[in-house]
Amino acid sequence: MARRIAAGAAYGGGSIGLLGAAGVGVLLAEVQLAKRSVGGGTAPVPPSGDGWYGLAFGHTEPLRMGMLGDSTAAGQGVRRAGQTPGALLASGLAAVAERPVDLWNVALPGARSDDLDRQVTLLLSDPSRVPDVCVIMIGANDVTHRLPATQSVRCLAAAVRRLRTAGAEVVVGTCPDLGTIEPVYQPLRWLARRVSRQLAAAQTIVAVEQGARTVSLGDLLGPEFAANPRELFGPDNYHPSAEGYATAAMAVLPTLCAVLNLWPETDRLDATRDEDMLPVAKAASAAAAQAGTEVTGARAPWALLKHRRRRHLPTAAEATPAGAVPNGAVPAGAVPPGAVPSGATPPDGPPDAEETRQVGWEA
């Protein structure tokens, strides 16, 4: 199905959808019940995270990073700029690169993939701020507003192509699994999961074909959110909380660093992490089913499936060990958390969320 959607987008098809008409009537009552529960609280307007991060590394030669997408990319559901995924990623990128990062977030809550053209135009409007790398998180509103799947992935492919033509590297966080939203009941939950994964797989195919890397966000809203719904969902029961965004950021950060050649890469597949070289459609399907899976294009029609290591969120005791400097300050002459001293080997995994906050300053 994902391959059919991608092919339909490439050749102008518009009739291939993710839902058949047969089951729609049966699910209408479930949809109405879900609407009464989802969004019952109030999600705060997402704070602007635009600005420079990692100023401890200087004020010149910044890496320019763009953030595009919907409310997930904007960070709706949190109140502090430092808790948004853009700020977390910019802080982590600065720590690994040992360079400041200039973040420009043009994501719009409620946006669908057909808004990406406007966002890309805005991001490329200033010749002096053309991004080095862009992160796109999109897809949830395409499902909930029934945007035709072929149109959805066609818009994403066009956005990735424009950014790549402008010289930016691109990382796409694919459609999250909407079947994990707590107030959604069966059979709508099963259908939402199926539709979300099909769209995520189709997004992976078209993004990789345009030269981007993708990271599956689907199951990040799966086992972890199901086990801790009150902790990882925001006050409206729909958007992630600060901890939820930190979980997603930790999944995307290694790929963000790797695409800029800041992370050690190897052509050898790690069997212990179920890494493999697969046809792109099969790699897309496998990635949609497992959170945090990266898909990178190889020689057509093959793609590399990678499962980069993610660390757990530190407990309070782990985040403040004995003898640590209060408030995340860095002692004179010390190496900031997550940074790599000159001549040293990069760490085996990405900095923890707490570490990225210590080296990143809100704009």
Query: What residues act catalytically?
Result: 71, 236, 239
> In angstroms, rounded to a whole number, what is the distance separating the alpha carbons of residues 233 and 254?
24
Task: Name the strand (E) or helix (H) holding 22.
Answer: none
State which H helix or E strand residue 333 sits in.
none
Signed CA dihedral, 319, 322, 327, 331: sign only:
negative
Closest CA to 234 of 253, 215, 216, 221: 221
Hey, what are 34's tokens?
């879900």
**Nearest CA among 292, 310, 291 for reference residue 352:** 310
Cα angle 34-37-40, degrees, rounded to a multiple of 5: 140
Residues 6+ apart with CB under 8 A from 362: 49, 51, 53, 80, 81, 82, 87
CA 78, distance to chain mean position in Å, is: 16
Best CA proximity match to 225, nearest among 72, 80, 355, 356: 72
Contact 175, 200 (CB under 8 A): yes
CA-CA distance, 200 to 262, in Å (whole number)? 26
Residue 349, classified by CB atoms within 10 Å of its CB into exposed (0-12), middle (13-18) or buried (19+), is middle
Q: Which of 163, 181, 196, 160 is nearest to 287 (CA)?
A: 196
User: Could you tell me the end-to-end alpha-carbon distance of the chain, in angstroms, rounded to an integer?
Assistant: 43
| Phi and psi at residue 198, to the nearest 5° | -65, -40
